[in-house]
Structure 1
Amino acid sequence: MGAEPAPRPQAKFCTGSILRHVVVMAGTGAIGLMAVFVVDLLNLFYIAWLGNPALTAAIGFSGVVSYVQIAVSIGLSIGIGAISGRLIGAGRIEQARRVASSFGIVMMVLCLLIGLITAWLATSILALLGASGEAARQAATFLEIISPGLPLIAAGMGCSGLLRAIGAARISMNVTLLGALISAILDPLLIIGLGLGLEGAAISTLFSRGFVAFMGFHRARQHGLLAWPIRTHVLTDTKLVGQVAMPAILTNLATPVSSIFVTHAMAGFGLAAIAGQATIERIVPVAFALVFALTGSVGPIMSQNLGAGRLERVRATLVASLWLVAGCVALTWAILFLTQDMVIRAFSAQGTAAMLIHLFCNWTIAGYVFIGMLFVANAAFNNLGFPLYSALFNWGRATLGTIPFVWFGMKFGPGGVQVGQVLGSVLFGSCAVMTAFTVVRRLHPGDRATEHAMPVIPPPQTGEAGLIELDELDHST
C-alpha cells in the first residue's frame, strides 16, 4: 500500500471578507509577536532588578546587533512566504512545496554563516557602536552564545511564513506562543535564580528558538508545505525566491542600521540614555505588535489574490490594513499616556532614562502611525512584485530620514535624538503609502508589471518525474 499523499494547501484568502482576513491574520500574528517581545521585555525587567546599569546598557548594545541578524531572517521568511503564497493562489501546489523546501536549506546555511561571523567579530562590532567596559564585555558574551543559533530562528520564521501563506495563522501563533512560554519559564530561573545574568538570558533564548524551529518544521510538514528538496531545482528555486528575499533583506536591514546610528548618538549622553533607549525599544514591539505583524500577516492575503488574479481584493487589503494601523496607534497612545509613571517605576528608570520614556509616551509615540504606513506599504511592495520600492523607502528612512534629523537633534540632548528619529518616519511613511496606492491602482490583467509579478512555472527538465503535472492530474480526476 502506497504512502499517504501530503495534504494540499488551499488558497483560502481568495474568497470571504477581506477585513476579516486582515484582522484574523494580523491579530494572530500580533499575539505571537507580542509573546516573543514580552519575553524580551521581561528579560530587561529581570536584568533591571539586578541593579547594574552596565547590564541594562549591554542589552541595548547587543539588541542592536541581534536586530541585524533577525532582519536577515525576516527578509528570507518574507521571500519564502510571498512566493509560496503566489504559487498556492495560482494553484501551483507542488511547485510551492518544492520551492519552500529548496530555499529552506539555503536559508539555514546562510544564517549559520552569519551567526558564526557575528560571534567571531562580536567585540569589534560592539566597539564600533560605542560600547566599552563591563557593558561591552557582557554584550559580547550574550552575542557569542546566541549567534551560532541563528539558523534556529530562521527555521522558525520560515516555517511560520509558510503556515501564514496558507492561512494557518492560529497554528503559527500557537507555535510561537509555546516558544515564548518556555523562555518565560527559563528566564527568571537562569537570570535570577542561578545568578547567570545575561548569560542566562542567552541560554533561555537558545532553548526557546530551538523549540519554535522544531515545532514549526513539524507543523509545516503536517500541512504538506515541505518535502525533500530536489537537487537539480535548488539553484532555480533559490533565484525565484531571491528576487523577493534579497530586496526584503535590504529593506529589513535598514531599521537596525538606523538603530545603530541612534544608539551611537545616545551613547554620547551616557549609560542612562542608552538604558532609556533600550527600555523604549523593548516596549515598542509589545505595544505595537499588531502594527509589526501587518507586514508578514497581510502579505499572504495580497500574494494569494495576486496569484489568483483577484486584483480588487488586493486594493481592499491595503485600505483595511491602514485603518487597522490608525486604530492600533490611537489605542496604544492612550494606554501608555495614562500608564507612563507605572512603566518608569517598573523598569527602575531615573534621570535621563525616565525623561526619554516620558517623552515617548506623551508625544513621539504618535510617529508610529507613519511607521505603520511604511510597514503596510512594504507588505504591498514585497508581495506585488515591487520589492525594490520597499528597500528604497526603508533605506531612505534609515539614512536621509534619520541621520540629518538625529544629528540636528543631538544639539538638544537625548530628547532631541528621539524626536529627530521620529520626524524622518513622518516623511518617508507618507511617501511610501502614496506610492503603494499608485502601484495597486496600476495593477490590471494584461499589464506587464502585473504579469511579471505572477508566478511562472518552468517546464520540467528532461528525465524528471514531472511531479507537478502528475499531482494536478491526480487531483482533477
Structure 2
Amino acid sequence: MPHTAKLIQGSTFKHVVSMSATGAFGLMCMFLVDLVDMLFLSMLGEKEAVAAVGFASSIMFFTISLSMAVSISATALVSKAVGEGNIELAKRRAVNVLAFGIFFSTAVVWMLWPNISNVLLYIGATGRTLDLATGYLQILIIGMPAVMIGMIGSGIMRALGDARRAMYATLIGGLVNAVLDPIFIFAFGLGVQGAAIASLIARFSMVAVSYYGVVYIHKMLGEFDLMDFFKDAMSISVIAIPAMLTNLSSPLANAIVMEHTSTFGDDAVAAVAIIGRIIPVVFGGLFALSGAVGPILGQNYGAGRFDRMHSTISSAVIYAFAYCVILCVGLYQAQDWLVSVFNATEGSAELIRFFATFVSFSFFFQSLLFIAIAVFNNLGKPLNSTLLNFGRATLGTWPLIIIFSLFMGAEGVLLGQAIGSVIFGCLGFYMARNYIAELEEKEAEAILPSHSHSYNEIL
C-alpha cells in the first residue's frame, strides 16, 4: 500500500470529522463495553458490585491513559515522518515505539499488581466493595500490555490517515467483550470476576486486529534493531513521558472526585460510577478529537503547511460545538430512561439528572482542552499539555469541588469539576493558537534570511 501524506490535502473539516468519527466509534465501542458491564452487574441487585467496578475503573483509566500516551508518541513521530516523505524513518519509529510500549507496560503490571488492594483502599473502597474491586482488577490488569499494543497499532494507522482500520481494533475488542459478558457474568455465575475475564479476553483480541493492520496491510514495521531503538528512545520519551503525565492527570482528577464523593455514601459513588460509564459513550466523539487532530497537525507540520494547521483547529472547534449541542440535548431527554435502565436508587438518580441537566454542557470547553493537547503533543511542546491537564486535575478540581460540595452536597462535586473544565479549556485553546502562530513566525524568519542570501549571491 502506498504511504502518501493524505492529510496534507483536501478539506481539513472533512479530515477532522472522518478521523474523529472513526476514532469515536472505536472508543465508544470500548467504553460501551464498560457501560454494558455496569448494566449487567446492576441486574445482580448488589450495589456493592456496581460501586466496586466504579472504584476499579479509576485504576483502569490510569493504565489505559498510559497506553494512550505511548500511542500519542507513535502518532506524532510517524505522522511527521510521513509528512516529510521519509517512510523508512516512519517504519523505524513505528517498531521502536511498539517495543517501548511493551517494555513499559510489562513493568507497570509488575509494580501495580501486588499493590492493587492498597491503592483501592486509599481511594475509599472498603468492605465487600474492596474485595470485589480487588478481584476484578487482579484479573483485568494482566491485559495492560495487550491494550498498549492495540493502541499503538491504532496510533500508527491514524498517523497514516487510515482512521477506518485504526477503529477496527477497539471495535472488535468491544464486540468480543459484549458477547462474552453475559456468558461469564450470568451463565457461569462469576459476577464481577466474570466481567473482568470477558474484558481480558477482549483486550487480547485487539492485539491480533491491530497487528494485522500495521504489519500485513500497511507493512509499517521495520526490523527491530537494538541500536536504533536506543537512538529513538529519547525522541519517544520526550513525547511519551509528558503525554503520560498529561493523561495521568485525568485519572488523578477522577480519583479525587471518587475519593470526595465516597464521603457522601455508596449511592453517590454508584451515581458517579454510572455517570463515568455514560460520559465516554455519549462524548466519545470529543475524546477522540485529540487523537484525530494530532495526525492532521503532524503531517501538515512535516510538510510545512501552517495554513492548514490553523484551519484544522478551527474545524475542530466547529465540530466540537455542533457535537455537544446535539448530544447534550439528547442526554437531557434521556435522563429518566438512564435512571430506569441502571436501576438507580433515589440518591443516585438525583445526581444523574443533575449531570444530564446542568453539567454535560461543560464538555464543549473540555474539548477545547483536547484540541490544545493535540497541538502541543504533536508540535513539540508536550510539557505544556502536562501543565494544562494537571492544572485542571488539581487547581481546577480539588478546591472547586470542596467549595461547591459544602453548599450543594454531592451535586457540588460535579459542578466544581465542570467549572474547572471551562476555565482550563479556554486557557489551553488560547495558548495553542498562539503557539502555532509562533511556529509559523519562526518558520518565516528561518526562510527569509536564506532567500535574502540567495538574492545577494545573484547580485
TM-score, structure 2 as length reference: 0.95
Alignment partner, residue 70 of structure 1 = 64
Find out whether 1:282 has 2:304 as its counterpart: no
**1:449 deviation in Å?**
11
The structure richer in helix per residue is 2
Alignment partner, residue 193 of structure 2 = 199
For 1:379-458, list aligned pairs within 5 A. 379-411=374-406, 412-444=408-440, 446-447=442-443
For 1:113-152, list aligned pairs within 5 A. 113-152=107-146
- Secondary structure at the counterpart of residue 224 of structure 1: coil
Find out whether 1:231 has 2:226 as its counterpart: yes
Maintained 8 Å contact 2:168/2:209? no
Query: How far apart in 1 are the matches of 2:9 and 2:441?
Result: 19
Alignment partner, residue 53 of structure 2 = 59
1:316 to 311, 329, 336: 311
Alignment partner, residue 356 of structure 1 = 351
1:32 to 21, 26, 37: 26
- Secondary structure at the counterpart of residue 278 of structure 2: helix
Query: How far apart in 1 are the matches of 2:215 and 2:395?
Result: 44
Maintained 8 Å contact 1:26/1:290? yes
Q: CA RMSD in A?
A: 1.4
**1:174 deviation in Å?**
2.2
Maintained 8 Å contact 2:362/2:421? yes
2:14 to 12, 17, 20: 20
1:296-335 C-alpha deviation (Å, 9 max, x unpaired): 1110000000001111101100000011111111111110
Query: How far apart in 2 are the matches of 1:83 and 1:338?
Result: 42
Query: How far apart in 2 are the matches of 1:161 and 1:37?
Result: 18
Query: How far apart in 2 are the matches of 1:304 and 1:211?
Result: 30
2:164 to 167, 170, 182: 170
Alignment partner, residue 450 of structure 2 = none
For 1:164, the aligned partner's letter is: R
For 1:297-316, list aligned pairs within 5 A. 297-316=292-311
Query: How far apart in 2 are the matches of 1:254 and 1:83?
Result: 23
Maintained 8 Å contact 1:62/1:139? yes
For 1:70, the aligned partner's letter is: I
Query: How far apart in 1 are the matches of 2:8 and 2:412?
Result: 47
Gaps of 5+ in 1: 1-6, 452-477
- Secondary structure at the counterpart of residue 343 of structure 2: coil
1:410-447 C-alpha deviation (Å, 9 max, x unpaired): 21211111111111111111100011111122222754
Query: How far apart in 1 are the matches of 2:192 and 2:420?
Result: 33
Maintained 8 Å contact 2:362/2:422? yes
Maintained 8 Å contact 1:153/1:209? yes
Maintained 8 Å contact 2:365/2:425? yes
Gaps of 5+ in 2: 448-459
- Secondary structure at the counterpart of residue 396 of structure 2: coil
For 2:289, the aligned partner's letter is: L
**1:149 deviation in Å?**
1.6
Maintained 8 Å contact 2:28/2:280? yes
**1:227 deviation in Å?**
2.5
**1:118 deviation in Å?**
1.8
Alignment partner, residue 456 of structure 2 = none
Paired residues, what number? Answer: 445
Alignment partner, residue 39 of structure 2 = 45
Identity score, percent:
35
Of the structure 1 ranges 393-402 and 242-251, higher mean CA displacement relative to structure 2 is found in: 242-251
Alignment partner, residue 256 of structure 1 = 251
